[in-house]
Structure 1
Amino acid sequence: MPGTSPFELDLRIHKQPAIGCHIALVMLLSPRQLTSPSTAVWWLYIADINPSKFDNQVEELKMALIKAMQLLATAVFLGWLVIWIMMPTATYTKNWSPKLRAQTNSTYFGRQGTSILIYTFPILFIAVIGCIYLHLVKRIDNCRRSISDTVAWKRPVLVNWPLGIVSGVELTFCLMFLVLLIWFYSKYLTTNFSKLQPSDDREELWKARLDAAAHRLALVGDLCCAFLFFPVTRGSSILLLLGLTSESSIRYHVWLGHITLAVFSTHGVCYVIYWAVTNQMDEMLKWANADVANVAGEIALLAGVIMWATTVPQIRRKIFELFFYTHQLYMVFLFFYLMHVGISHFCFILPGVYLFMVDRYLRFLQSRNRARLVSARLLPSEAIELNFAKSPKLTYEPLSTVFINVPSVSSLQWHPFTVTSSSNLEPERLSVIIKKEGTWTQNLHRTLAKPLVHDCLHVKVEGPYGPLSKNFLRYDSLILVSGGSGITPFVSIIRELVHQRTTLNRPTPVVLLICAFKTSADLTMLDLLLPISGNVSFSRLDLQIEAYVTREISKSPSDDAQNIIRTISFKPLQSDTPLAPLLGPNGWLWLAAIVASSFVAFLLLIAILQRFYIYPIDQNTNEIYSYAAKSSLNLLFMCICIMATASMAVVRNKKGNSKEAKQIQNVDMPTPVISPSSWFYNADRELESLSQESLVKATKVHFGGRPPLKKMLLEYDGSNVGVMTSGPHGMRHEVAAICSSGLADNLHFESISFSW
């Protein structure tokens, strides 16, 4: 619109409102368009020379777009779900399926086109819409608070079950999914059994039914597989649309994995029995060229069973390395599953697998960078705080997690840890706390504890991943219950509350932190509530800390030297880079572009392959083109498209990150501070800072017993109290049971899941 006066522009927009909406949408998705002063003047005229009205109109437009996207995503998902529900019915097989195949079968996609259209495309469309939705939500503070309210997990209804702590909403959806599986299988059986002709030979009839039952079990497994990979896609827009995170959804992956492999194992056993009773054991060694490949299915099942066997809690927790390495067999499982059923059938589960592949490759690109590790704090409690340099553009919410790899300890193992820093309070630092427990953490602690000069430590980081909103801000009061190293998720919450109260001057909930430690040395964990900069005061935050030391009946003299927190500063290397958003500040829009463009490119490649290579072979010869070869080519094209589009997006944003990395200067680390345990033993000692003083005044230490949780929770005053717990299994279940008992209506249990 160059050369158009503001008055003329105003008249044009009033006459054609669509122009104004179009410009507003462009401005919303590309804020850089407002850099021109003349453009800003135009917008003031559009807003009737009222800047506040202009802001309100933009906010209203954003909210309208957000609601429209929510409705659209919900409608598409329900339609996709209806297809699965109707699949085993005669209506689908006799009416819907023939019409769909007739309208979508072409020389460019063949039967695969139908599967892509009704099983793959809807979910990828939701993922793209979800990315745009999250980009808009991220810019609206009020909406960020209300998201979790729309999908709020209610108080627990099941505690101490094999499933753990399960809320009413979770239980409802679990039961609905089980009903869907039962319906799916039973309807398939009744439909299929009705087609079997009664025969005087009862032996042949039960064999035919066994064959049909085994075949339909595989379709039930497909339904489970269709949902299996969504919970482990860490940067998933679909999970955040539901108010979930990958951390909180891991147990859904565990439940689905158990059901999937139980169903597939039964499917395999039934077919072995069927081949045995029909004298067709040679079928186990067949790899059909244009049909189901039995050998590939057996290899996939074997890989799945090995993974399944190592998920037993005793193995996963005590021999984590075995669990970790065998779980990489998922690639073998997926590849031979594809070879077993062919690409057309694989499209049933392709959406979850495709989004997981995009996420996994982006994580691979991020893990290629060496993170700039600034310092480490070693506590007498054998905990470690690692402090990384980060870009101010990298923002995250409390309770976020990062995955860390230290090649000098293990080149392959990645372990998740809760982020304890606040991206608002510490814009150039990201911190995590690691408790010395397993083999990996013991080796890391041993490496840092050596009395040598630490020039550098090679560390790789993936993430952070976390919630989109601050759920805890909606409560008037917060009760945070922790045991041992379980205090780490609450460190980020308290630091964020300090920022909200001191920097933004916003009202914050009253906080009661109940923490239990084994020994007084573990009290040093409380010192990590203070950032390493130490320039934080809790005086304006209504914070009360009740610390319980369970294995010591009274405080005894302690050597101050044993309670010194040792701080290690690391020398920066030129190859180290501060943590930065992999796809830039507009990461969700870039992710939407990657998913959409890679999938379109994939469709173009397979269309060319089908039309000009496979289709002529199928038409001009008596043989059908090999299913395995076609599936392999599809997989190859898929990987190429994902890698190409994701790499271009990362390289595009890496230039901006590199410029910013050069501007980040190293900050000298403060000298070691005295730990809280020595504060309580030397109350007459002059405190080193006002930060420590405010923390000491808020803390009360109890010796020789566990915290009386039931009494403290039920007697706590407040009309709207959020209760969060992190720590040992027994403590979490005890708190959940108290909140779900109905004895106090003001307690609202907030589930925190870190169940790796």
Structure 2
Amino acid sequence: METNIQFLDHTRTNKMIQLTIKVMVITIFLGYIMIWVMMPTNTFWLHWLPRIHSATNSSYFGQQQGGNILIYTTPILLIAIMSCIYLHLQNKVSHHQSTPNNLWGQLAIVRGPLGIISWTEVSFLIMFVALLVWSFSAYLHAMFANITTQSASKMGEKVWEVKLDSIGLMLGLIGNICLSLLFFPVTRGSLVLRLLGLTSESTIKYHIWIGNLTMMFFIAHGLCYIVFWGTTHQISQMMKWEKIGISNVAGEVGLFIGIVIWLTSVSRIRRNIFELFFYTHHLYILFVVFFILHVGFSYIWISLPGFYLFLIDRILRLLQSQQKVRLVSARVLPCQVVELNFSKTRGLKYNPTSLIFVNVPSISKLQWHPFTVTSCSDFDDEKLSVVIKSKGSWSQKLYEKLSMPSPMDHLQVSVEGPYGPVSTNFQQYDKLVMFSGGSGITPFISIIRELLHMENNTPQILLIPSFKKSEDLAMLQLILPVSPTTLDISRLKLQICPYVTQEIGHTTEEQHLHKTIWFKSNPLDAPISPILGQNNWIWLGMIIVFSFIISLVFIALFTRFYIYPIDKGTNMIYSYSVRSVCSMVFICTAISVTVSIAFLWNKRRNLKEMGQIQMTDLPSPLASPGLSSWCYNEDREMESLSYESLIGASTNVNYGERPDFKKILTECEGSRIGVLVSGPKMMRDDVAAICSSELSKKIVFQSISFTW
């Protein structure tokens, strides 16, 4: 009793702290937005900014740099640090349950160039567009107010030429607003997104939208200046790399790189020539470098926070990807599907629908592919599983490699992740309706396995998978977890209604497991473990704090004792480009060193747990069943929980037809129904259109898509 009271008190305290953090985050964010709103006005430039510069002016950072760090970079990093504390407390309260969050579920637009959009997304999109329109009009009014015939003639230019010069500058400033947000959606371990209940996979579309706007503004910015220089006979400006101020050559190189990235990101190229898109997209590093050289490092602090957090995440991913993980076994199904089973540490926790990125060097050293984790972290303590459907060339080569007649002894694999939602709330629904197409069933496998192990308040589940051929029905075997415990599937209230769309009858023999491969252990392979240990959010917050402080110390000392004696406080002598390069080196060094120390420290702490799991060569399960519990029970469980027993939980298989989404959803009973869709775009759009109509009051829609 006393223990329960202490637990409740601890929970209440955590919730109060979380509420306080939310209020502080909202307050800081509103203040940050206010800066952007006021930035195009005379009030900001004539009153606010001079006071900020006078308060931050010093020989350590200079006038402009100190002010930009204070009002643009610090607020976002402070929000990120508080997000770390919030997420850490949330994990302490509950790993996989949370207060229901329908913020992103109510649909507004289901068809169109932007895809499926919720009302919340529409609201944020309208506010963002309003900010851009406001900035454009305010800059335009302020700049044009001082342009007269007399002022233009003094510069030897026409009025329209001076206005064109101002428009070019204005477009660059607005493009910088978009650039400030560009890297947030692609930060896989993003703190800010997770605080909003989002993941990087679900926000890729935001990155695409912002990327398109960024390049449109920057291209228009460059064209305006090219036309201006051409008409004013200053075309030689294109070849100038000024020691002080704006570097035109750096801007042109950066713009050219950005255009290459943009053109290879077109949907047709991205889907049909993915390698070209993937490799050219890594040119973002050069794009950022030349952008900094173009505007100077003092100005880049305005758009730096998003890239700063992305850089921390990228280095963490790089360190994790260098480790070779232990692949225990592979199950090869006749429908060209492979299930890979990795060893993991007990401290690694993740939620349903999480992803890991897999690299197999023997197939390609550079290609990383995302796959849904199908195992349950709370009950599969030492195993992490993913399902791979043979579609493209990479997955086809993997299937062929594992399907060879001679069994493999070892397969070298590296992973990144897992990445996924911080919490789930599937138990809030009376009923879960899950539509899948082909390999889109894999996210639902993780959800069903999670609910299968829960004791109370499990919703009714209606799974409606669609397959092209009857042999793909073998994927339903993967729903049943491999576990030595006795599982009562009837308790789950699971109903499966499979559809086979391209066949009119059952054309294959009874589906059995085609082959199970057991791999020998390698001393260099390690179980998958948390990058920063069980307290990963606290460690990530410490990395942000210490790397930022170290960066500021390096830059301050460099400015005070090297640049300042040369400039004597005037900032008119020392090269802006050299200063920018040195500042970039300081920041990258600080982040790299801090991240590496945290990573290695946690790696040492995990050695004991890894040593307990990492055993000697696992024998064949038929040889010595006593040596490995879950390894031996896998085949035995698959025999006892056969394909027929699973189909017995479903209605008849429907051949030669597609599911009638509207009829199925209309017949669903319950005051609160969760509808999840994972499959082709047409399927997602059709279900979303139905859910956004007369059924929207009782239905919460969620689209699960890993294709862009």
TM-score, with length taken from structure 1? 0.88
**Contact in 1 for aligned 2:104/2:119 (Cα 8 Å):** yes
Q: Mapping of 1:61-460 within 5 angstroms?
A: 61-110=13-62, 111-141=64-94, 144-146=97-99, 149=101, 152-199=103-150, 204-460=158-414
Alpha-carbon distance, 1:746 to partner: 2.0
- Aligned 8 A contact 2:85 2:537 in 1: yes
5 Å-filtered alignment, 1:731-742, equals 731-742=683-694
Counterpart-to-counterpart distance in 2, 1:155 and 1:516: 25
Residues 637 and 210 of structure 1, relative CA distance in 2, 3 Å threshold? same
**Mapped partners of 2:638, 2:362: distance in 1:** 38
Cα distance, 1:654 vs. partner? Answer: 0.6
The amino acid across from 1:628 in the alignment is S
Determine the structure 2 residue equivalent to 1:517. Answer: 467
2:331 aligned partner, one-letter code: R
Q: Name the structure 1 match of 2:657.
A: 705
Runs (4+) off by over 6 Å:
200-203
1:590 is the counterpart of 2:590: no
Matched AA of 2:146: K
User: Are the equivalent residues in 2 in contact too, given 1:234–1:359 (CA < 8 A)?
Assistant: yes
Distance in 2, Cα, partners of 1:474 & 1:622: 60
State the shift of 1:751 in Å: 2.8
Q: In 2, distance between residues paired with 1:316 and 1:479?
A: 31
1:136 corresponds to which letter in structure 2? L
Matches of 2:484 and 2:389 in 1, distance apart?
A: 21
From 647, 655, 668, give the equivalent of 1:696: 647
The one-character-per-residue Cα deviations of 1:666-694 (angstroms, maximum 9, x if unpaired) are 566767xxxxxxxxxxxxxx993146564
Cα 1:620/1:471, change in 2 over 3 Å: closer
- Identity, in percent, stands at 49
> 1:543 maps to what in 2?
494
In 1, the alpha carbon distance for the partners of 2:228 and 2:131 equals 27
Aligned partners of 1:390 and 1:428 also within 8 Å: yes
Deviation at 1:563, TM superposition (A): 4.8
- Residue number among 443, 447, 465 corresponding to 1:493 in the alignment: 447
Which one-letter code corresponds to 2:655 in the other structure?
F
Whole-Å separation in 1 of the counterparts to 2:202 and 2:574: 44
Between the aligned partners of 2:638 and 2:279, the Cα distance in structure 1 is 49
Which stretch of the first structure deviates more once superposed, 205-214 or 704-713?
Answer: 704-713
- The Cα RMSD (Å) is 2.0
Partner SS, residue 241 of structure 2 = coil
Q: Per-residue CA shift, 1:352-405, capped at 9, x if unaligned? A: 010001000000110110011111111221111111110110000001111111
Give the letter for the 1:485 counterpart.
S
What letter corresponds to residue 60 of structure 1 in structure 2? R
Contact 1:379–1:524 (CA<8 Å) still a contact in 2?
Answer: yes
Kindly tell me: are residues 144 and 194 of structure 1, through their superposed partners in 2, closer, same or farther at Cα, counting changes over 3 Å? Answer: farther
Q: CA deviation at 1:623?
A: 5.0
Normalising by structure 2, report the TM-score. Answer: 0.94
Aligned residues of 2:96 and 2:424 also touching (Cα < 8 A): no
Give CA deviations for 1:222-268 in whole Å, capped at 9, x if unaligned.
Answer: 10011111111111111111111111111101100010011101111
What SS does the corresponding residue of 2:244 show, helix, strand or coil?
coil
Q: Deviations over 1:86-110 (max 9, x none)?
A: 0000100110000000110110100
Q: Which residue of 1 aligns with 2:561?
A: 612
Q: CA deviation at 1:755?
A: 2.8
Q: Any idea what SS the aligned residue of 1:290 has?
A: coil
Which whole-Å CA distance do the structure 1 matches of 2:260 and 2:96 have between them?
45
Query: Any stretches of 5+ residues in structure 2 without a counterpart?
Result: 623-636
* Residue segments in structure 1 that go unaligned for 5+ positions in a row: 1-48, 672-685
Measured in 2, the distance between the counterparts of 1:119 and 1:715 equals 52
SS of aligned partner of 2:591: helix
Aligned to 1:529: 479
Q: Which AA in structure 1 matches 2:71?
A: I
* Alpha-carbon separation, structure 2, partners of 1:56 and 1:607: 47
| Matches of 2:699 and 2:167, distance apart in 1 | 48
Checking the alignment, whether the CA contact within 8 Å between 2:430 and 2:673 is kept in structure 1 is yes
Assess if the C-alpha contact under 8 Å between 1:425 and 1:495 holds in 2.
no
Answer whether contact 2:476 2:643 (CA < 8 A) is retained.
no
CA deviations over 1:245-303 (Å, ceiling 9, x no partner): 11111110110001001110111111111111011111111001011111111111111
8 A Cα contact 1:137 1:143, kept in partner: no
Cα offset, 1:319, TM superposition: 0.8
What CA distance in whole angstroms lies between the structure 2 residues aligned with 1:330 and 1:635? 15
2:453 partner SS:
helix
Residue 433 of structure 1 and its aligned partner are, at CA, apart by 1.2
| Whole-Å separation in 2 of the counterparts to 1:670 and 1:225 | 54
> What amino acid is aligned across from residue 68 of structure 1 in structure 2?
T
- Structure 2 CA distance for aligned equivalents of residues 128 and 495 of structure 1: 33
- Distance change >3 Å, CA 665–CA 485, structure 1 → 2: same
Shift of 1:715: 1.3
> 1:736, 1:90 → 2: CA distance?
46
| Structure 1: distance between partners of 2:386 and 2:267 | 25
Deviation digits for residues 435-464 of structure 1 (CA, Å, limit 9, x no counterpart): 111122122222222222211111110001
Which residue in 1 is equivalent to 2:578? Answer: 629
Q: How far did residue 513 of structure 1 move?
A: 0.1
